[in-house]
């Protein structure tokens, strides 16, 4: 028999409480927050809504740089993926999970040192498949650094087990 978890919250409510600072130590949700990769890369959720999320991070090419001395494109892709995954997680119910099917990034301008904001929103939401657009913007001048699109599939039942 499955153990009943007290204070089990829907993902959106859990993240809203976390963002407001009202999350209690005993509050839980069925997905893991913060994620290990977000902790490693110092990503923070700045805004959350049903199907949307904004994730921020302070970047410096000394720490996050590539051979050319700018913030690495792979780092930007991970930031977009984190925002998209966080956005989609707000739609998940108990026993549901999800997986990315694809992710396409377009790099628009370099970054050396700044605070980046990645805002993800759905462009199409179906029963199983959702398409997202994510824009990454420099805080210093409000200019777009990169955009990403992704297709995410909701997993239910046996497909969601162990994810």
| 11-160 CATH choice from 3.10.129.10, 3.40.710.10, 3.40.50.740, 3.40.50.1980 | 3.10.129.10
Residues 6+ apart with CB under 8 A from 84: 53, 100, 103, 120, 132, 134, 148, 150, 152
This prediction's pTM: 0.93
Chunk the chain into consecutive blocks of 10 residues (it has 163) and report each block's average pLDDT, rounded to whole numbers.
65 96 94 94 98 98 96 98 98 93 98 98 96 98 98 88 72
Tell me which residue of 157, 91, 156, 79 sits closest to 118, measured CA to CA.
Answer: 79
């Amino acid at each position: 028999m499955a153990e009943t978890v007290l204070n089990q919250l829907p993902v959106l409510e859990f993240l809203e409480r976390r963002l407001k600072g009202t999350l209690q130590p005993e509050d839980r949700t069925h997905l893991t927050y913060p994620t290990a990769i977000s902790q490693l890369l110092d990503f923070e959720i700045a805004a959350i809504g049903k199907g949307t999320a904004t994730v921020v991070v302070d970047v410096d090419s000394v720490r996050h740089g590539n051979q050319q001395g700018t913030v690495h494109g792979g780092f930007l892709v991970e930031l977009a993926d984190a925002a998209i995954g966080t956005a989609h997680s707000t739609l998940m119910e108990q026993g549901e999970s999800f997986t990315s099917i694809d992710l396409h990034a377009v790099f628009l301008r370099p970054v050396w040192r700044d605070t980046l904001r990645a805002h993800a929103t759905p462009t199409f939401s179906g029963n199983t498949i959702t398409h997202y657009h994510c824009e990454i913007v420099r805080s210093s001048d409000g200019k777009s650094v990169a955009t990403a699109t992704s297709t995410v599939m909701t997993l239910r039942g046996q497909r969601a087990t162990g994810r």
